[in-house]
Every structure is written in C-alpha cells, then in structure tokens.
Amino acid sequence: MKPKNVVVLMGGVSPEHDISIRSGNAVAQALRDAGFTVSCIDVKDEKIDELDQRETDIAFIALHGYFGEDGGVQQLLESKGIPYTGSGVSASKLAMDKLAAKKCFAETGLQVPDYVAVTEFQELSEIQHEIMRLGLPVILKPTRNGSSIGISIVKDIAHLQMALKNAFEFGYEVLIEKYIKGRELTVGILDDKALPIIEIKPAMEFFSYDAKYKDNRTEYLILEKTSGTNGKRAAYSFRESGFLIASLYDEAQEVALHAHRVLGCKGFSRVDMLLGEDNKLYLLEVNTIPGFTEKSLLPKAAKAAGISFASLCKKIVELAFQPALVSVNEAIQD
C-alpha cells in the first residue's frame, strides 16, 4: 500500500507544545512538496476525536514529550487501526523513561554515566548523600521529559534544592547523572542505518532548552573522520572540533545503532552521547521523535547524507509500512 492521505499530529498536551507545532508545520509542508495530501491536527487532548472524521492512510506523529513519545498516542492510533510513523508503543514508552532506558543500556553492555534516581518523597539529606556518592558536579533531569526541559547542572550542593524544585515540576522522579566533561555528539538513525555524526557546541554550559531554541550562538558541526596516532588519540579526539578519529567515529555510530535496536525503535531516532576527556563514549538517551524544526538535528544529519528534508519525511512515511524489528530487550525476554 502506498499512503496518500497523511494526517500530521502536532501540538499536544506536554510542555513541548510550541516546539511540536513548529515541527508539525515543517513536516506538513515537506510532505506536500513530496506529493502527499496532508492535513494537520493540533492535538488538544488524549482522545483526538478529529481522527474519526478524517480519511487517514497514515498519521505522522510530530508530538514531543508526554502523549507523543511515551507510547500514549501510539496506543490510541493502534486502537483506531491507523498506521503511524516511528517506533511502537513499547519502544516509545521505554525510550521516554530515562531511568528504564539506562538500565536497559547497561544490561546490554552500553556505557552510561554513573547515575541515581530520586523522588520528591525522599528527604533532602538522603538525596544529598546520594549526590556526594556520585561526586559533584551532577546533572538533574526529569525522568520523563524532552527538549532539555527541567534540566540543571549542580556544582555546589547549596544549589541543589532549587534544581530539585525545577526538575520536580515535571514529575515526581528525577534522574541525577555524574557530569561528564566532553564533546556532545548526536547520531541520527534512519532505516536502521547511522547518519553522519553532529557535534553540538552550545553557547551555554550545556545543551539546555535555551541553547537549543533561543541562543543563535549554539553551533552544530558535521564531523569528518580523520586518522590519528594512538599516542595522540585522547587529546586530539577530545579537543579537535569538526573532526573525529575514524575508530571513534565508527564506534559512535555503532553505539547509536545498538541503542536504537536495544529499545526496539523503528524507522528513525536520534541518539545522544558524550565523548569524555577519558576518550570514552557515554550514551545519554534515544529520542524516538526528535525535532523537525529549522534547528533540529536529524534533518541536519540527513542533509549531510544527501537526503533533503522532503525526502526524509517521505522516507519516514514509507518506513512506517515496513515490519518492526524485534528489540534486543524483547529477544532476551523471549
């Protein structure tokens, strides 16, 4: 079946509503340019009754965060018998839960920063004890959120309470990671293949919401492979922006593809990681519905691979009709 009528779902009920609107509008125009008949729904609730009145061959999910990346809208679409883009219910749910995903990564041999999970029901002194065990500085992240919303870096324990308050606004559970100083890398996955690696050079201390969407000084570098001697490998690979030693470049793409498969993702994703000063790669997370704005990283990586934005969106629609891969996690359970 070749889909013709595409409904783009955007907006949504999460704090990432505005970013989703931008993504959805860009996708809708790209799909029209690719020859599809496109309509859009600004999702206001978790029922999306408008779908019942639309002729829909496929839903393109451009929803971020809650009821977008967490399996909720995927489950609704399956109940209505509507095919959709991207990963399925279980993979979406697993990837959205940063704590569950990290456990899955660690169990399959992927390296992640040291971490601990805390809840708003714990005493501050207990949380402080866990942080001191990790060692400052640390990064605080809501376990189920995206777009770097609610994230803080804590270098001084005196600033912990404010950072916790900020993170707990988006859920009762917070992931606390050991801060890794290094280069921020992201690897797009399309059709079970790794795209060119992008290095993120935020104008701020880390890739926060403001650095992503408000600060035009943030740089995005398409990395090139380079050779290097073992003796200079660590210093060179850590400091040299725009280039990455071939062995590390290949390893980063392999790590990204492994993470994508471990969670059982389908079609596309974006995998974030750090290259530490110790020259090791630390996996951070897998984004099953990365952004599709003018600053978004998956379209940038696809363009570096010679894939236009319209072709990328068309490919994502076509991939939705291919059988899903079985995740490593599901294979282990079977």
Q: Which tens digits make up the pLDDT trace of 309-328?
A: 999 999 999 999 876 544 44
Average pLDDT over residues 119-144: 94
Residue spans of beta strands (DSSP E) within the chain: 5-11, 37-43, 58-61, 115-119, 138-142, 152-154, 173-178, 182-190, 193-201, 219-222, 224-226, 243-245, 268-276, 281-287
What is the DSSP annotation of 142-178? ETT--TTTT-EEESSGGGHHHHHHHHHTT-SEEEEEE
12, 14, 16, 150: the active-site residue: 16
Q: What 8-state DSSP symbol labels residue 215?
A: -
Average pLDDT over residues 205-228: 71
179, 285, 296, 329: the active-site residue: 285
**Contact present, 112 and 273 (Cβ < 8 Å):** no
Average pLDDT over residues 142-158: 83
23, 87, 147, 296: the active-site residue: 147
Q: Which tokens belong to 304?
A: 């570096």
Give the span between the Cα atoms of 9 and 48, in whole angstroms. 9
69, 70, 173, 272: the active-site residue: 272
Q: Could you give phi then psi for residue 158, rounded to 5 degrees?
A: -65, -20
Question: Is 285 annotated in the active site?
Answer: yes
More confident residue, 110 or 213: 110
More confident residue, 213 or 148: 148
Give me the architecture of the 114-178 domain, per CATH.
Answer: 2-Layer Sandwich (3.30)
Question: Is 173 annotated in the active site?
Answer: no
Q: Which tens digits make up the pLDDT trace of 11-55?
A: 999 888 999 999 999 999 999 999 999 999 999 999 999 999 999
Exposed / middle / buried, residue 116 (Cβ in 10 Å: 0-12, 13-18, 19+): middle
Q: Which tokens belong to 5?
A: 């009528």
Q: Which residue has the tokens 């376990």?
A: 143
Which class is 95-99+181-333 in CATH?
A: alpha beta
- Please say whether the dihedral angle defined by the alpha carbons of residues 207, 213, 215 and 221, taken in this order, is positive or negative: positive
Residue 210 has what pLDDT? Answer: 55
Polymer length of the chain: 334
Reduced to 3 states (helix: H, G, I; strand: E, B; else coil), residue 31 is helix
CATH of 5-86, one of 3.40.50.970, 3.40.190.290, 3.40.50.20, 3.40.50.1220: 3.40.50.20
22, 183, 261, 270: the active-site residue: 270
Question: Is 109 annotated in the active site?
Answer: no
- pLDDT band for 209, please (50, 70, 90 cuts): low
CA distances from 222 to 177, 195, 241, 299 (A): 27, 10, 10, 12
**Contact present, 209 and 187 (Cβ < 8 Å):** no
Q: Which tens digits make up the pLDDT trace of 43-72?
A: 999 999 999 999 999 999 999 988 999 999
33, 213, 247, 311: the active-site residue: 213
| CB neighbourhood size of 318 (10 A) | 15
**Domain locations in the chain as residue ranges:** 5-86, 95-99+181-333, 114-178
**Contact present, 98 and 263 (Cβ < 8 Å):** no
Average pLDDT over residues 189-203: 94
Question: Is 287 annotated in the active site?
Answer: yes
Does residue 302 surpass a pLDDT of 90?
A: yes
291, 296, 327, 329: the active-site residue: 291
23, 87, 269, 287: the active-site residue: 287
Does residue 294 surpass a pLDDT of 50?
A: yes
**Contact present, 101 and 95 (Cβ < 8 Å):** yes
Question: Is 272 annotated in the active site?
Answer: yes
Q: Which residue has the tokens 């290949």?
A: 250
Nearest to 201 by CA among 297, 71, 317: 297
Question: Is 329 annotated in the active site?
Answer: no
Question: Is 16 annotated in the active site?
Answer: yes
Nearest to 261 by CA among 191, 199, 311: 191
